[in-house]
């Protein structure tokens, strides 16, 4: 039996073999590191950039931490799906997008070119951040390939504050994306917000208190109705979770959603036209016992399970869900 270090020893794209959870070469969910993308369904890559933060830095270390936290998820069949997603879905780890932080003007073009090259192969992208500003060049690339996308933004913050069109800021990029028309705001929803802005910029806003009162199913009903048949890009800011569940982030805000609510929300997006996802703002220096990184890895894993299910895997959940 072949065992260990799939990240660089594996030759085929599907399946998996045994690893020591606590050892071995790290990649996201132990997938093969490669930049040869023929036949690949989803490319995982990191964007280790955090120079646009407005409070605590450290999320440039997020991709590394999320990869490490993903090892347990690579051991067993996925819960609650009941299958191994990698029997059906060809997923590889590209590594990290190369960014020169000493030349800030090149950051957005570098990320955009990175995404363009991957999307041109026909693969979908799962991106590990990094601060939330990285979503802007990712959205530009996705809109170029799919047309304006329905943005589903899981977040404590609206990220639509005043923008001058030039600054590099993780709190303004969705206002810019809306202004440029790369996001179809009429089909987009912001979920979990608990900070205030005078304008909603056309987004449907489901605040954290609203979700606490009405529940995840009610939120999903609205999200799904708005998105319709549009291509859906999920941007999951880990600070959408309450700091009790995700302390390792730069701008924590009390009153957020629990990790179970975040996971139920992602799982409830099944059947939508999911074209891309990012998981951002994991800041390991502020994490405790990897709880934030584990939550981020699980959210990303479950999004991949939706794609595997879409490709033909059969849900085999056991017990009452």
Known binding-site positions for Mn(2+) = 132, 155, 157, 159, 237, 239
Name residue 129's beta-bridge partners: 47
Distances (CA, A) of 201 to 41, 134, 162, 175, 177: 33, 20, 11, 7, 11
Do 236 and 277 meet the contact criterion of CB atoms below 8 Å apart? yes
**Which positions make up the binding site?**
132, 155, 157, 159, 237, 239
Do 96 and 90 meet the contact criterion of CB atoms below 8 Å apart? no
In 3D, which of 53, 103, 107 has the Cα closest to residue 285? 53
Rounded Cα distance, 277 and 269, in Å: 12
| Angle formed by the axes of helices 216-227 and 259-267, nearest 10° | 40
């Amino acid at each position: 039996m072949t065992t260990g270090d799939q990240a660089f020893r594996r030759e085929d794209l599907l399946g998996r073999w045994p690893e020591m959870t606590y050892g071995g070469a790290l990649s996201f969910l132990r997938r093969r590191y490669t930049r040869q993308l023929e036949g690949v369904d989803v490319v995982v890559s990191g964007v280790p950039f955090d120079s646009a933060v407005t409070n605590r830095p450290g999320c440039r270390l997020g991709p590394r931490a999320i990869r490490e936290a993903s090892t347990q998820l690579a051991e067993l069949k996925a819960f609650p799906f009941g299958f191994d997603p990698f029997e059906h879905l060809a997923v590889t780890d590209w590594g990290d997008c190369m960014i020169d932080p000493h030349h800030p003007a090149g950051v957005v073009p570098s990320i955009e070119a990175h995404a363009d090259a991957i999307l041109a192969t026909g693969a979908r992208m799962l991106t590990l951040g990094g601060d939330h500003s990285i979503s802007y060049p990712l959205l530009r690339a996705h809109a170029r390939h799919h047309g304006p996308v329905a943005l589903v933004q899981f977040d404590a913050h609206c990220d639509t504050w005043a923008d001058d069109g030039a600054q590099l800021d993780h709190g303004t990029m969705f206002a810019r994306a809306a202004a440029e028309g790369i996001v179809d705001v009429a089909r987009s929803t912001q979920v979990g917000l608990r900070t205030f802005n005078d304008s909603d910029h056309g987004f449907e806003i489901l605040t954290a208190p609203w979700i606490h009162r009405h529940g995840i199913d009610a939120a999903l009903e609205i999200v799904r109705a708005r998105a319709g048949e549009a291509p859906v890009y999920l941007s999951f800011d880990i600070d959408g979770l309450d700091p009790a569940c995700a302390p390792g982030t730069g701008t924590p805000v009390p009153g957020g959603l629990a990790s179970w609510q975040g996971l139920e929300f992602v799982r409830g997006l099944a059947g939508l036209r999911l074209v891309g996802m990012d998981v951002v703002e994991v800041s390991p220096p502020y994490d405790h016992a990897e709880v934030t990184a584990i939550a981020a890895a699980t959210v990303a894993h479950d999004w991949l399970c939706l794609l595997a299910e879409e490709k033909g895997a059969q849900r085999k959940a056991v017990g009452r869900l």
